[in-house]
Amino acid sequence: MEIKRIKCPNCGAVLDVKNSKNEAVKIIKCPNPQCGVQMRVPFGNAPKAAPAAPAKKPAMPSPGETQYGPMAGPMASPQPRPAAQQPRPAAPKAKQPATAGETVYGPMNGPAAPAPQAGPRPPRMACLQFNGQNYPLHIGTNTIGRAANTSRATVQIRTTDMFMSRLHSMIIISPDGNQALLSNGENKNEIRVNDRLLLPGDQIVLQHGDRIKMGDTIVNFIFS
């Protein structure tokens, strides 16, 4: 399965697109709730369409062979049968009364009941996992950094890794709670997602189970 990393030309969000159906071109929508631009993603390993079969030529008649074509003129309508030969209509059957214990169904009165409407999708719970501990993420902007007395991060990871900054990255949870965007928060700190470097100023849509490396610290992103 081919995976292609693309960047939204409007807002700069980065997204890893999976070609699970082996399509030649995939149409996706930017997951950034403030953008929503549609993008065409071409893939190189999709199978080419098979050429169309040539049209068959009509067979030529052999010498001495008779060709039959459609019959010209309107079809003759059937002649009505004489009144004496017309079949008599069958006498209507008498309605049998219901026996004891039998349920009789009649026509439904009133309009049909409307089908139940599906409710809104509940928001998903997002968190970061490190050393068996969960660090919840709330809707809106979450700043991620190393725990310290002088740290201004809203989510402080308890680690002794001095290569992880006290304000290292930023994760934005969409208002409906179903999307998460990771960026370096206008810092120059190095961030890797699944061993792939996130360039400065880029935003990437996080998926459940993604591994985020900040300094020498690796945390797991959980979407449940």
The 10s digit of each residue's pLDDT in 19-36 is 777 778 778 788 777 777
pTM (predicted TM-score): 0.55
Task: Compute φ and ψ for 82, nearest 5 degrees.
Answer: -60, 155
By the 8 A CB rule, do 196 and 5 touch? yes
Task: Give the three-class secondary structure for 133.
Answer: strand
Tell me the mean pLDDT in the region 72-99.
57
> CA angle, corner 139, sides to 134 and 140, nearest 5?
115
> CA angle, corner 48, sides to 47 and 49, nearest 5?
120
Short-list 166, 171, 209, 210, CA closest to 192: 210
Which pLDDT band holds residue 173 (cuts at 50, 70, 90)? Answer: very high
Please check whether the domain covering 126-223 is classified as CATH 2.60.120.560. Answer: no
- Residue 116, C-beta contacts closer than 8 angstroms, at least 6 positions apart: none
Most confident of the following: 38-52, 143-157, 183-197: 143-157
